[in-house]
Amino acid sequence: MLIELVKWLEEIFGDFLGAGLFTYISFRAGLAMIISLVISMIFGGRIIRYLQKQQVGETVRDLGLEGQLKKQGTPTMGGIIIIMAIVIPSLLMAKLNNIYIILLLVSTLWMGIIGFVDDYIKVFRKNKEGLHGKFKVLGQVVLGLIIGVTMLMSDQVVVRMDVKQAQQIGITETVGEQPVTVISNEENTVQKADYKSTLTNVPFMKGNRLDYSRLIPLSREKSQQWVWLLFIPFVIFLVTAVSNAANLTDGLDGLATGISGIVGVTLGILAYVSGNAITANYLNIMHLPGTGEIVIFAASMIGACIGFLWYNAFPAQVFMGDTGSLTLGGIIAAMAILLRKELLIPILCGVFMMETVSVILQVSYFKYTKRRYGAGRRIFLMSPLHHHYQKKGMPEAKIVTRFWIVGILLAVITILTLKIR
């Protein structure tokens, strides 16, 4: 929004001090992070006091965990702070005609509404179950459908490729004038064009690319027509899985917030290198025009997480609730899909995955042993995984810190996949 205002002012008054800075993504991303921090840290305190006044407190069940009952009455629905600190800077600093920014804003508000309704039912209707699971899943499915269909239909969602390389792998549907760019040096001249494609990145593989249409057992032309049957359900699955995984991880003070911030930094780096022609060419990765704007959204998310951590770190003054956890999970899934890094999610979101797998294993094993032996048995002392370590007597702050360290390690591995093939 501000970049359009600056352009308008330039047209009226001519050049003025600092206007050129708004053309740089790095500058706008930095400002977005600062604004996000200011919103979450300054307005966050006021929102927390308002939640306390309205008695919007967490209802805690006694699960035999150390220090658990002390959290009774702690304000919840703090995800409102995170949403404000993401949406406002993004609206101010990003290009609002960019399809990637539009999708990310839609994802944020859509998942925020679902999480808010869930928290509202829990807090004000005194229903511990919250929003019925089928309605949550329906909302996640709709968001996945929106993202998947937009990626397949929008002419702004393209891959900029070497024309000869595209012809070799059978990609022919171009967008815009041809060729879009010509990169020349002493050795060769490379013509590039924008292509509609379902290409994605495959970590650790030579070539680093996979075309979803190749997985359809039909002729090349027909497989491109029917690829949506595979692509859209996969996108829906990822949105549903990651948002629910983030929700499960939100069980200790600062855990989901810190992990989401780490993931946000990683996705911001991936967005920068994917959206920059020079960097993408140097790293030999897919150049995705327009994804550079995602850096600004990622910066807003990082600022929101850090600012919220100011109040959410142990001992927490506020919980994000489903309003925050479902939103952060939905954003992470959307960003990974839009950057065509969705196959990196098991690595990048490894902490989320471990938490989810621990619940699946615990429930499955308990049901199996109950059928077979008449009494259910458990693999973990308690699930999700962070509660297992609590049961073992590990302090909450140490569990969170160690999970953060694991998250940082996985983030570094994710970035290394750009070159390790």
Q: How far, CA to CA in Å, does 18 sit from each of 22, 30, 36, 255?
A: 8, 15, 21, 39
- Would you tell me how many other CB atoms lie within 10 Å of the CB of residue 220? 14
Listed residue (358, 332, 338) closest to 411, CA to CA: 332
3-state secondary structure of 89: helix
Listed residue (115, 114, 92, 98) closest to 31, CA to CA: 92
The helix (H) or strand (E) run that includes residue 174 is: strand 174-175
Q: How far apart are CA 263 and CA 286, in angstroms?
A: 20
- What would the two tokens of residue 152 be? 């397949």
Q: How far apart are CA 33 and CA 304, in angstroms?
A: 8
With tokens 């995800």, the residue in question is: 79
Query: Phi-psi region for residue 334, left (φ > 0), alpha (ψ -120 to 50) or beta?
Result: alpha
Q: How far apart are CA 421 and CA 358, in angstroms?
A: 30
Position 182 scores a pLDDT of 55
Low-confidence ranges of the chain (pLDDT < 70): 7-11, 13-19, 58-64, 66-69, 177-188
Position 174 scores a pLDDT of 82
For the chain, first and last CA: distance in Å? 40
Position 420 scores a pLDDT of 84
Residues 334, 336, 340, CA angle at the centre, nearest 5°?
A: 115
DSSP class of 316:
P
pLDDT, averaged across the chain: 90
Determine if the pTM surpasses 0.85. Answer: yes
Q: How far apart are CA 262 and CA 401, in angstroms?
A: 12
With tokens 């969705």, the residue in question is: 342
Position 10 scores a pLDDT of 67
Q: How far apart are CA 313 and CA 255, in angstroms?
A: 8
- Would you tell me how many other CB atoms lie within 10 Å of the CB of residue 415? 16
Report, in angstroms and rounded to the nearest whole number, the Rg of the chain calculated over CA atoms.
23
Position 16 scores a pLDDT of 62
